[in-house]
């Protein structure tokens, strides 16, 4: 299947309509500048991928640019490690932030001086004041949906007094929590965000970029809109929970514009729905908990919905972009089924991935009438639909590995694979007739026996004379590559982990990882890190990018095949 990226505009239409309208009206002289503003306090996850594809995709389609902005105004939680992983993740997804040779990589912390200067300006204009109430007092006087908040007793301090206190806050003369700077807006507003929001607080914390230069740090609502305006962002796309913050976004920018700091038009915030994916979680806090409490093996555990996790699992950047294109960007939060991501991976890899044979649950098949100590070469196409990609070769010999489920001593109704007296085709090899099985003392089957038909070799004329109902895959025991293969299932048992107030950890699927020793056709040994292969019948696999060694790849199952191979054959 072709990856059709043309459905993307339709699915993001409401945002594109706004941009088109702005362009028609000449609002920005056709300029489109977006930004992706992650906070470097954790690893990017699949939800961020939606925001990345949206912001960078719109910039690309309108000939604009999307800024990558590290929104780093919470010193305690941020680090260079996170910054680096964010930069890597966006690049890996296939996007970049350069235009006409200029790099649009920014840090909110670069604006600390400006943000501080603007705060002093708001104070001088009587639009901000230092509040000396405790956090508890502020909470108790916020009011409720029915009731207006109470004005702080410090609300009417003079600009001079406020300026003095704010400068002393900056100079480190006060303890954390002793004072905050608040915008003076409207304690009776039905929108809580306008009830004199805090814009600066004292934190004696080391910032990974500005070190100990600052002990006052700006709040998100204040720094975000100003960062957008300083960077000349035209359309600022935010998730829906910021809808109620938009009046505040506009308020700050309007005040500063009246004072000549910015010119109109001002960046416009537009909200869209978050991406929630079933059977997983996209809360940074909960992801951190999974890592810290060792429920997974790190941020890049192949079961994690982080970008590093899905990458290690084997998902391609194309598949993630395809999923994001297929998910409508709307105004209503919704849950996207994990199958959308899995389907996108299959659609991406179906054409690209070379085929190989793997036996994941091995059982010996002995071809009793095949001469001992000899072998011959069989071949199969690298890709069944692209003969030009050539053939792969592997040996056929007396002892083979087959899947344990491909033999039943007493066949169930409708079972066409191996059972005593039945004939099946060994794919790309010969037709064999099952003669029986060996068992151990407990009655477990230890080996299956068969005879082969010399004139039934696939691709020869004689082959057509054999009509069999079952085809199974196999690997010659001699020459097989015995590999570690990791079979992953969904990390959570429930589509919406933690729904209905249950502890989300209770919904963990404890059987989400299974490691097997498998036998693969010899050529699989040459797979390099991040090479992706379809193991016929089993699904798409990747050579693990960390644990694989040259000549000794370890494989992760990315997804199984949609079709039930057993039924098809």
- Part of the chain binding ligand ATP (CB under 6 A), chosen from 40-48, 153-161, 202-210, 253-261: 40-48
8 Å CB contact between 452 and 425:
no
- Give dist(CA 402, CA 363) in Å, integer: 5
8 Å CB contact between 324 and 51:
no
Which of 15, 22, 34, 51 binds ligand ATP (CB under 6 A)? It is 51
CB nearer ligand ATP, residue 82 or residue 481:
82
Which of 41, 141, 254, 509 binds ligand ATP (CB under 6 A)? It is 41
Three-state secondary structure of 7-51: HHHHHCHHHHHHHHHHHHHCCCCCCCEEEECCCCCCCCEHHHHHH
Task: For residue 435, report the phi and psi dihedrals to the nearest 5 degrees.
Answer: -115, -15
Which of 12, 32, 48, 269 binds ligand ATP (CB under 6 A)? It is 48
Q: Is 330 in the site for ligand ATP (CB under 6 A)?
A: no
Minimum distance, C-beta of residue 187 to ligand ATP, in the bound complex (Å): 26
- 204-243 mask for ligand ATP (x: CB under 6 A)? ----------------------------------xx----
Q: Is 201 in the site for ligand ATP (CB under 6 A)?
A: no
Q: Is 275 in the site for ligand ATP (CB under 6 A)?
A: yes
Q: Is 282 in the site for ligand ATP (CB under 6 A)?
A: yes
Q: Is 246 in the site for ligand ATP (CB under 6 A)?
A: no
Q: Is 426 in the site for ligand ATP (CB under 6 A)?
A: no
Q: Is 274 in the site for ligand ATP (CB under 6 A)?
A: yes
Burial of residue 322 (number of CB atoms within 10 Å: 0-12, 13-18, 19+) = buried
Task: Tell me which residue of 406, 393, 394 sits closest to 450, measured CA to CA.
Answer: 406
Rg (CA), the chain: 31
CB nearer ligand ATP, residue 236 or residue 512:
236
Catalytic, out of 16, 33, 35, 39: 39
Burial of residue 23 (number of CB atoms within 10 Å: 0-12, 13-18, 19+) = middle
| HSE value, Cβ hemisphere, 13 Å, CA-based, for 245 | 20
Reported in sequence order, the residue ranges of 418-497 that DSSP labels E, i.e. its strands, are: 423-426, 431-439, 445-452, 470-472, 475-476, 481-488
Known catalytic residue: 39?
yes
Which of 8, 22, 43, 47 binds ligand ATP (CB under 6 A)? It is 47
Which of 16, 33, 38, 219 binds ligand ATP (CB under 6 A)? It is 38
- 284-303 mask for ligand ATP (x: CB under 6 A)? x-------------------
Known catalytic residue: 142?
no
Crossing angle of helices 220-230 and 112-124, in 10° steps, is 110
**In the 8-state DSSP scheme, what is residue 330?**
-
8 Å CB contact between 278 and 336:
yes
82-97 b/e with 16+ CB inside 10 Å = b?
A: bbebbbebbeebebeb
- Give dist(CA 129, CA 119) in Å, integer: 10
Known catalytic residue: 517?
no
- Part of the chain binding ligand ATP (CB under 6 A), chosen from 47-55, 138-146, 182-190, 306-314: 47-55
CB nearer ligand ATP, residue 238 or residue 338:
238
CB nearer ligand ATP, residue 288 or residue 561:
288
- Give dist(CA 476, CA 258) in Å, integer: 79
Q: Is 152 in the site for ligand ATP (CB under 6 A)?
A: no
Q: Is 268 in the site for ligand ATP (CB under 6 A)?
A: no
Write out the catalytic residue numbers: 39, 274, 284
The contact set with ligand ATP (CB under 6 A) reads: 37-39, 41, 47-48, 50-51, 238-239, 274-275, 282, 284
């Amino acid at each position: 299947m072709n990856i059709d990226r043309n459905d993307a505009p339709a699915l993001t239409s409401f945002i594109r309509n706004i941009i088109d309208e702005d362009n028609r009206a000449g609002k920005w002289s056709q300029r489109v500048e977006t930004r992706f503003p992650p906070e470097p306090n954790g690893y990017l996850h699949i939800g961020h991928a939606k925001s990345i594809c949206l912001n960078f995709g719109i910039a690309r389609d309108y000939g604009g640019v999307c800024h990558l902005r590290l929104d780093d105004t919470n010193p305690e939680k941020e680090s260079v490690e996170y910054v680096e992983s964010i930069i890597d993740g966006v690049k890996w997804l296939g996007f970049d932030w350069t235009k006409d040779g200029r790099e649009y990589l920014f840090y909110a912390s670069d604006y600390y001086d400006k943000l501080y200067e603007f705060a002093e300006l708001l104070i001088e204009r009587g639009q901000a004041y230092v509040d000396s109430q405790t956090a508890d007092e502020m909470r108790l006087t916020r009011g409720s949906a029915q009731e207006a908040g109470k004005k702080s007793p410090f609300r009417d301090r003079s600009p001079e007094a406020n300026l003095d206190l704010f400068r002393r806050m900056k100079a480190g003369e006060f303890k954390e929590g002793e004072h905050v700077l608040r915008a003076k807006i409207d304690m009776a507003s039905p929108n809580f965000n306008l009830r004199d929001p805090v814009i600066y607080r004292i934190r004696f914390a080391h910032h990974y970029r500005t070190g100990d230069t600052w002990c006052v740090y700006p709040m998100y609502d204040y720094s975000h809109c100003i960062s957008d305006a300083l960077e000349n962002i035209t359309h600022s796309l935010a998730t829906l929970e910021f809808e109620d913050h938009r009046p505040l976004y506009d308020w700050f920018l309007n005040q500063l514009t009246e004072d000549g700091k910015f010119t109109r038009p001002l960046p416009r915030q537009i909200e869209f729905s978050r991406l929630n994916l079933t059977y997983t979680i996209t809360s940074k806090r909960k992801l951190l908990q999974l890592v810290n409490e060792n429920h997974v093996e790190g941020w890049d555990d192949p079961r994690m919905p982080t970008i590093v996790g899905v990458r290690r699992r084997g998902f391609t950047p194309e598949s993630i972009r395809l999923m994001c294109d297929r998910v409508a960007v709307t105004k209503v939060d919704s849950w996207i089924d994990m199958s959308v991501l899995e389907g996108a991976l299959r659609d991406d890899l179906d054409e690209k991935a070379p085929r190989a044979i793997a036996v994941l649950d091995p059982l010996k098949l002995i071809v009793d009438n095949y001469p001992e100590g000899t072998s011959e070469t069989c071949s199969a196409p690298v890709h069944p639909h692209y003969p030009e990609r050539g053939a792969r070769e592997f040996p056929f010999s007396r002892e083979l590995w087959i899947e344990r489920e491909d033999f039943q001593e007493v066949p169930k109704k409708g079972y066409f694979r191996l059972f005593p007296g039945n004939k099946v085709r060994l794919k790309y090899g010969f037709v064999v007739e099952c003669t029986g099985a060996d068992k151990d003392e407990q009655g477990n089957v230890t080996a299956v026996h068969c005879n082969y038909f010399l004139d039934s070799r696939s691709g020869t004329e004689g082959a057509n004379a054999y009509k069999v109902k079952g085809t199974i895959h196999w690997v010659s025991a001699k020459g097989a590559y015995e590999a570690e293969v990791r079979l992953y299932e969904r990390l959570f048992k429930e589509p919406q982990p933690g729904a209905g107030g249950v502890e989300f950890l209770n919904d963990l699927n404890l059987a989400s990882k299974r490691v097997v020793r498998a036998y693969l056709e010899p050529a699989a040994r040459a797979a390099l890190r991040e090479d992706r292969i379809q193991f016929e019948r089993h699904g798409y696999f990747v050579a693990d990018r960390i644990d694989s060694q040259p000549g000794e790849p370890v494989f992760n199952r990315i997804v199984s095949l949609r079709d039930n191979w057993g039924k098809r054959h």
